[in-house]
Structure 1
Amino acid sequence: MTKQQDKAFSAKRHFPHSTHSPSFPGTLVLGVLLAFLGGCGGGAGSDAEGSGSTGGTGLTPPPGTHELNVTLSGSGQVVSQPAGIDCGSSCTADFGAGSSVTLSATPSPGFAFAGWSGNCSGTGDCTVLMTAARGVTAAFVETGGGTPTSYTLNVSRTGNGTVTSAPAGISCGSACSASYAAGTSVTLSASAASGYTFAGWSGGCSGSGSCTVSMTQARSVAATFTQSAPTSYTLSVSKNGSGTVTSAPAGISCGSACSASYASGTSVTLSASAASGYTFSGWSGSGCSGTGACTVSMTQARSVSASFTQNTASADLCNGLVTDKVAHPMPALAKPALGQTVTDPAFGTTIRRITEVGGTGVIKPAYSTIPAWNADESYLILYHTNTSNSGHHLYDGKTYQYIRKLDINPPDLEQFYWHTTDPDVLFYVNSSTKTLTRYRVSTGAKEAIKTFSCGGSVSGGSDPMFMSWDSDVIGLRCSSGFVFTYRISTDTVGATLSSGSGNAPIASASGTTVFFANGGNAEVRDLDMQYLRGLPIDPNEHASLGRLANGHDTHNAVSFGGYEGSLVTADMTDGSVRVIVGPETGYPYPPGGTHVSALAFKKPGWVALSIVGSTNGANTLNQELVLADSNAGGKVCRVAHHRSWGKAGPRGYWAEPHVVISPSGTRLLFGSDWGGGSSVDAYVVELPSYVP
């Protein structure tokens, strides 16, 4: 029962009939009661009141306790141990006489505990000994208007690592802020996580050593951890076709081990070796191209792809064809209807007509030096002229069904270049903007690769051929008087060469050199147009660049002087020259109107010829399509009569057959006026080796 409850209870018990609460002080009531009780034993009651003593009769705490009273100044809370005081709400309590009571102060937000007064002092916990009634005041001050006794230290991090403090409080990681008594000196230490380095402090500290701050105000410190540079990187090799890739230093042997880790900055050289029946056709990725060694610097993870193509030596395209050298006169043969086939009566091969232009129109291959089929032979491009819709038109490469006209504008009709591995891509130089453009056939999307600085037009020259067989290097001519090369993968424009020739340099199949018809000189130069060697041939005859199964680049041409033949192959790698089809090998002196196509990049060394000669086709090679393996010891086979009169007919140049070999070497595309007709259509010879 509290002191107040005890007082009320006593009054009610001794005055049960009172009709009102006593209005006199409680001490008087207790005095009267004591006097009355004293008089009950006899004696004169009349003066009892007057004679009653008041000594020791004032109101006192219950025996054995003392009162503790707490007063607050400002906003905060004080609690006691043992319980009793919880001030805020309950600020007075009785505690046993002689007991020890500990008071703790907690400031409200925005306030700081400034200290005790009364029976305590200082700012720590207050302990009072209850040998008498006690009074304590707790003072709290607003932090904006007083002097705080503690401040907060906040730590932030960038990257992975931890920050700890002495004295304890910060362990960031998890606890990134802590409160410290005003004036405390706090030292922060940073520890980087695995794979990271401590880069330094900012905010309340700088440098990369330990950080010491004095908590005279709230502080903020930032610790930055940066990812450490890897000490090694992975080199990954992928392959197309059959062969192996090895590395120096060792690590790659692909075959089996196609990835390896190398110390950062290591220079790794990859070498390719083709399996039996295959030829290494080139590198791609990480700046590697061509067929030489591939060297990469391991300053980051690298990926390189090696392509191997099946050699023609293991796939004889002449099987089932005529290989003799005697005359097979050309008999009359009716022109087949669109989509129909006829059998060549002299050579037994199948000829399919794939267009029907009518009138005086022309539909035919663009030129013998430019692939008509894409990489997987699923698309075919034919050029339409003297029609209502002239230009480059797309056909299905296998069914020969018409698809649509292509929205491209190369500098000349022959100057488009199929990608040799991506069947959806072709390249051309936009004649309006002088920009090498990547064109996606399936969608018609155009991507600008490189816009060239040139005072005139940029083109593949007056006698254009193909790009490198890895679709990475192209030779170009600026009409203001210089020539140069460009490598797509590294965005590298080679050194320019001033030239009055209308020709551009032609990228070799390997992409390591170019052929340049420099006036009357046949030259092999590097990609910076530096002279390497000359070839003892006429550079201005019809020709096509190719490659042998051993990887050597070749120039394949008709030649009428010195080396004579309908096909003379010059090795651009070692400078040697061989007559493949000519008097030296038992064939007649080359007839006129010969064009060469060496674009069977999946069958290196195979070359197709279209020869006009005499329009009656009575003698060997006249009016013929010929297929030759230019590899050492290769065969020559005679395929069909194309029956086109070329310049001797009414369509003139447009009636030249301009044979184009397919990438697989199993089909020959040509144009024909079919005996001097008024129109020119496209035809395909499907060889016995062709598989639809």
Structure 2
Amino acid sequence: MRQTRRQFIQQSLLAFPAIGTLASCGGGGGASAASVPNGTNSGNVSTGLQAYGKSLVPYSPLAKQPKLVPFRDPDFGTRMIRLTDAKADWNSGWAVPAYPTTQAWNTDESLLILYVSGRLSSTGVEGGFALLDGKTYAFIQFLAINPADIEQFYWSTTDPQTLFYVNNSQSTGSQVNQLVKATITVAARTNGSISAVSMSTTVLHDFASDFKPGGALASAVSGAGTITKVSGGEDPFAMSEDNDLIGLGADLNKTSGGVEEFAAFSYRISTGAIGLAFPAVGSVPQALPSGSGTYFYQSTNGVQVLDALSNQVLRTLPFDGQEHSDMLRNAAGDDIVAGAQYGPPSGGATGTLIWVNLSKGGAVHTLIGPANGDPYPPAGTLVSGRAYKASGWVAVGITGCPSGSTGNCQGPTPTVSGTPKTYLDQEVLIANVDSGAIYRVAHHRSAGYYNNATTNNYWAQPNVTISPSGTRILVPSDWGCANPSAPVIDPSAIIDTYVIELPGYTG
């Protein structure tokens, strides 16, 4: 069953008060585009984990737990904590990680960002970036940032105080469209937790000036009318790991098949270079983790690696980029794309976790898939490769059948005979593209993204987000599988964020 990537969700956050002021337009720093990965492939990621192989694991009942009270997954034994109570805290419908390709934690994991929305009444929060203490998980405050979309903020991989985003706020009726560097400073601590921060911002580049006659993007947007937004496109990935290259697109105010059209380009902060813009539908070129080029897909026929400036096609690979996937680097520093593949192009492979080397090309590799004796990939599979300090590790979250792998999910109401058990369905796992190691670590118990439900809840999908060290994983859940023998498929269920702390986490 094909599961396409996220749909574009525009949010206006203009009601939030400013925390800092925009400084004058400044220059950018940045390391070389081909810098080595800062990952260490540290062994603590898998420390203490049990390899269950392909065996069926019991799926035991577990009531929704109180906020910030640690508990153990009854089947995998992993420590988990419910971080939010969206209804009680903010009178909102969901508090979730933004997306698996977005790093929720800053580089030293002292801060993390969740997205809060779906107000339940006029007093609820609708569109807020909640900043939490990354260690104690205490809520600090909402950040006054206006990124181009909810997942388009980018923590620095080296400086825990730095956050990047393209400002989506408005001035005199037009989008600002400035690449901004925000500096977030701890202002107060209470009972051991960060309780307040201050934020100042600096403009690194003003893209609005590039649309004017003679500007670097003027010809690319000619005849498009007023340019409303510069963004990372409909399916954004992270910036390069040296925080220097970013893939962007200028919205051309028209659609193709209901999907936004962009003038797509890349921008390198250290040199101020704007790559040659070209027309694209939905997706735009995304920075490779190494910063050596960009990754681009436009159809299910394959993905391309491009030169960041000229867009010359360096290689084409048989991977369907329209499925949920993420990029990372392996132990050798090569750029990798990994994700689920349901109907891959010729030369590709079907599976729950497939990867291919973007730097060198070569064979498509199956970690979990029919070629290795695994079932056809369950619907609702998402991948996060944001463990940039633990090279090669990815996290995977799977919806599949809410009543477990032994359940019946042919209709809108999942059923099961006997004791529910799972292999892949409803599970969170981690895997390493270098060693092939796979560890199943928890049940996320979210039911609302069930593929055969009458109404799916997008926000209930298992948007796993792995931490930079690879030792923690965020996952949203409506906890509809408190009793897997009778899962509740409720599109209006409140969705909160949970953290899975692996045994190797020492925080």
Q: Is residue 299–residue 320 contact of structure 2 (8 Å, CA) maintained in 1? A: no
**What does residue 449 of structure 1 align with?**
204
One-letter identity of the residue aligned with 2:331 = A
**What does residue 273 of structure 2 align with?**
492
- In the alignment, structure 1 residue 574 sits paired with structure 2 residue 379: no
SS of the residue 2:422 aligns to: coil
SS of the residue 1:654 aligns to: helix
Shift of 1:584: 2.1
Q: Is residue 556–residue 570 contact of structure 1 (8 Å, CA) maintained in 2? A: yes
Q: Is residue 92–residue 116 contact of structure 2 (8 Å, CA) maintained in 1? A: no
**What does residue 40 of structure 2 align with?**
310
Q: Deviations over 1:288-347 (max 9, x none)?
A: 41336xxxxxxxxxxxxx7753224x4452632333111113111011101112211111
**What does residue 416 of structure 2 align with?**
none
Shift of 1:380: 0.6
State the alpha-carbon separation in 1 of the partners of residues 29 and 182 from structure 2.
Answer: 23
State the alpha-carbon separation in 1 of the partners of residues 472 and 45 from structure 2.
Answer: 14
Specify which of 313, 327, 330 is matched with residue 545 of structure 1: 327
Specify which of 427, 441, 447 is matched with residue 639 of structure 1: 441
Q: Greater relative contact order: 1 or 2 (C-alpha under 8 angstroms, separation 6 or more)?
A: 2
For normalisation by structure 1, the TM-score amounts to 0.55
Shift of 1:446: 1.1
Alignment of 1:196-595 (within 5 A): 288-291=31-34, 308-312=38-42, 314-317=43-46, 319-358=48-87, 361-387=93-119, 388-390=124-126, 391-431=128-168, 432-442=175-185, 443-452=198-207, 453-454=210-211, 455=221, 456=227, 457-480=229-252, 481-499=262-280, 501-520=281-300, 521-528=302-309, 529-561=311-343, 562-576=348-362, 577-595=364-382
Shift of 1:589: 1.6
C-alpha root-mean-square deviation of aligned residues, in Å? 1.9
User: Structure 1 vs Structure 2: percent identity of aligned residues?
Assistant: 42
SS of the residue 1:289 aligns to: coil
Residue segments in structure 2 that go unaligned for 5+ positions in a row? 1-27, 169-174, 186-197, 212-220, 222-226, 253-261, 405-420, 481-487
**What does residue 658 of structure 1 align with?**
463
Q: Deviations over 1:248-297 (max 9, x none)?
A: xxxxxxxxxxxxxxxxxxxxxxxxxxxxxxxxxxxxx98641336xxxxx
State the alpha-carbon separation in 2 of the partners of residues 362 and 315 from structure 1.
Answer: 32
Q: Is residue 178–residue 204 contact of structure 2 (8 Å, CA) maintained in 1? A: yes
For normalisation by structure 2, the TM-score amounts to 0.74
State the alpha-carbon separation in 2 of the partners of residues 331 and 315 from structure 1.
Answer: 28
SS of the residue 1:370 aligns to: coil
Of stretches 453-462 and 618-627 in structure 1, the one that deviates more from structure 2 is 453-462
Q: Deviations over 1:572-596 (max 9, x none)?
A: 0111221111122332221000111
State the alpha-carbon separation in 1 of the partners of residues 31 and 80 from structure 2.
Answer: 41
State the alpha-carbon separation in 2 of the partners of residues 336 and 621 from structure 1.
Answer: 23
Q: Deviations over 1:100-122 (max 9, x none)?
A: xxxxxxxxxxxxxxxxxxxxxxx
Structure-2 change in CA distance of 1:549 and 1:646 (3 Å) = farther
Structure-2 change in CA distance of 1:444 and 1:559 (3 Å) = same
Q: Deviations over 1:82-112 (max 9, x none)?
A: xxxxxxxxxxxxxxxxxxxxxxxxxxxxxxx
**What does residue 296 of structure 1 align with?**
none
**What does residue 689 of structure 1 align with?**
504
One-letter identity of the residue aligned with 1:472 = D
Shift of 1:363: 0.5
One-letter identity of the residue aligned with 1:483 = A
Specify which of 423, 431, 440 is matched with residue 628 of structure 1: 431
State the alpha-carbon separation in 1 of the partners of residues 72 and 285 from structure 2.
Answer: 41
Structure-2 change in CA distance of 1:593 and 1:658 (3 Å) = same
State the alpha-carbon separation in 1 of the partners of residues 446 and 83 from structure 2.
Answer: 16
Q: Deviations over 1:462-482 (max 9, x none)?
A: 011111011111000111242
One-letter identity of the residue aligned with 1:690 = Y
Structure-2 change in CA distance of 1:585 and 1:367 (3 Å) = same
Structure-2 change in CA distance of 1:308 and 1:344 (3 Å) = closer
State the alpha-carbon separation in 2 of the partners of residues 320 and 691 from structure 1.
Answer: 14
Q: Is residue 545–residue 553 contact of structure 1 (8 Å, CA) maintained in 2? A: yes
SS of the residue 2:50 aligns to: coil
State the alpha-carbon separation in 2 of the partners of residues 611 and 437 from structure 1.
Answer: 34
Number of aligned residues: 392
Structure-2 change in CA distance of 1:637 and 1:586 (3 Å) = farther
Residue segments in structure 1 that go unaligned for 5+ positions in a row? 1-284, 293-305
**What does residue 407 of structure 2 align with?**
none
State the alpha-carbon separation in 1 of the partners of residues 290 and 106 from structure 2.
Answer: 19
SS of the residue 1:563 aligns to: coil
Structure-2 change in CA distance of 1:357 and 1:512 (3 Å) = same
**What does residue 495 of structure 2 align with?**
680
State the alpha-carbon separation in 1 of the partners of residues 44 and 70 from structure 2.
Answer: 25
Shift of 1:461: 0.3
State the alpha-carbon separation in 2 of the partners of residues 669 and 544 from structure 1.
Answer: 16
Structure-2 change in CA distance of 1:465 and 1:307 (3 Å) = closer
Task: Name the structure with the higher strand share.
Answer: 1
SS of the residue 2:449 aligns to: helix
Q: Is residue 470–residue 511 contact of structure 1 (8 Å, CA) maintained in 2? A: yes
State the alpha-carbon separation in 2 of the partners of residues 367 and 471 from structure 1.
Answer: 19
* Stretches (4+) displaced over 3 A: 285-288, 306-309, 648-651
SS of the residue 2:459 aligns to: helix
SS of the residue 2:32 aligns to: coil
Alignment of 1:592-631 (within 5 A): 592-617=379-404, 618-631=421-434
Shift of 1:381: 0.2
